[in-house]
Amino acid sequence: MARSTIAFPALLLACFALLKLGLAEHVPQPAPGYDDSLEICIKNMTEECGIEIFQNIVHKGPPITDACCSVLLKFGHPCHSELILAVLSTGKFAPHEAEILQKSAAAWKRCRSIVEGH
């Protein structure tokens, strides 16, 4: 359980490190400001909710709680999309990319419905 608890933050840190150090030559260079925008996004996500959302979208975890849905909406759709794409860019989840994108969209829609009552 502890391993999965740190998986999301560790994966994001590794992704940023690769992008910043230029070690991921197969990954196209991000647009100017891309790294900065992702870092700002991450600061707006709690670790607990980040893990919960990651587990739900990537590892077939339980539904996202109402509290974390609120955090996700405050996080914003652009940040949510950027972060999912950053995770997918690692290649680790390539076999499940379509499913992850679908679950990401479904999670956003569900959370928006819960928080905004749509």
- Identify the domain containing residue 12 by its residue range: 2-116
pTM as predicted: 0.68
- Write down the pLDDT at residue 6: 52
- Write down the pLDDT at residue 118: 64
Consecutive sets of 10 residues in the chain, 118 residues long: mean pLDDT of each?
Answer: 51 47 45 65 89 94 96 93 91 94 97 90
Domain count, the chain: 1
- Write down the pLDDT at residue 25: 45
The tokens describing 12, both together, are 């994001």
DSSP 29: P
- Write down the pLDDT at residue 39: 84
- Write down the pLDDT at residue 91: 92
Q: Give one DSSP letter per residue of 34-97, joined into a string.
A: HHHHHHHHHHTS-HHHHHHHHHHHHS--PPPPHHHHHHHHHH-HHHHHHHHHHHHTTSTTGGGH
